[in-house]
């Protein structure tokens, strides 16, 4: 996923890259192709990239432990500033291009943002009912016959106190 920016005139350009997830070494959870769509705004002193990444992953639901495929999306901006000397920015989205370079390699950024697109709480669906805490049945697929009210012995003294008042 390399842009040879010297081939483009100043202005706005639409770019699209497609790479297999295996080639990007994203890990076994990611499937198929990763699609990067970039809107490149090139001027004489900077290049600004508005990027959208789409990837597919096989995930395991945190509530019901079911395996499912999910389309993941990530959106980010990158700014490349032309510089006469090597510089490092504190902002991860600002990078510097030296006069002797003519390409921008987006591969590492695509890998990073694709991995960051995996949600912290993975759910097969928003209203996932999870597993029964007694019998382990998947409550999305069936209604178990377990008693729904689960009593914790820790709360028994308080319940007894309620009964005496």
pLDDT for 95-153, tens place per residue? 888 888 888 899 999 999 999 999 999 999 999 988 888 888 888 888 888 876 656 77
- 3 state SS of 16: strand
pTM for this prediction: 0.75
User: Could you tell me if 77 and 43 are in contact, meaning their C-beta atoms sit under 8 angstroms apart?
Assistant: no
Tens digits of residue pLDDT in 15-65: 999 999 999 898 888 999 999 999 999 988 889 999 999 999 999 999 999
SS (H, E, C) 39-106: EEEECCCEEEEEEEEEEEEEEECCCCCCEEEEEEEEEEEEEEEECCCCCCCCCCCEEEECCCCCCEEC
Phi, psi angles (nearest 5°) of residue 7: -80, -5
DSSP 125: S
């Amino acid at each position: 996923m390399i842009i040879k920016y010297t081939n483009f005139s100043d202005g706005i350009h639409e770019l699209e890259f497609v790479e297999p997830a295996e080639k990007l070494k994203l890990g076994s959870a990611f499937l198929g192709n990763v699609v990067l769509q970039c809107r490149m705004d090139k001027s004489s002193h900077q290049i600004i990239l508005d990027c959208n990444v789409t990837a597919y992953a096989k995930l395991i639901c945190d509530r019901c432990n079911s395996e499912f495929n999910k389309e993941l999306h990530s959106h980010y901006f990158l700014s490349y500033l032309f510089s006469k000397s090597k510089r490092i920015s504190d902002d991860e989205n600002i990078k510097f291009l030296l006069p002797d370079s003519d390409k921008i390699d987006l591969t590492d950024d695509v890998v990073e943002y694709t991995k960051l697109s995996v949600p912290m709480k993975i759910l097969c669906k928003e209203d996932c009912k999870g597993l029964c805490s007694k019998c382990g049945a998947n409550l999305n697929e069936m209604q178990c016959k377990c008693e729904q009210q689960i009593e914790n012995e820790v709360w028994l003294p308080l319940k007894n106190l309620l009964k005496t008042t």
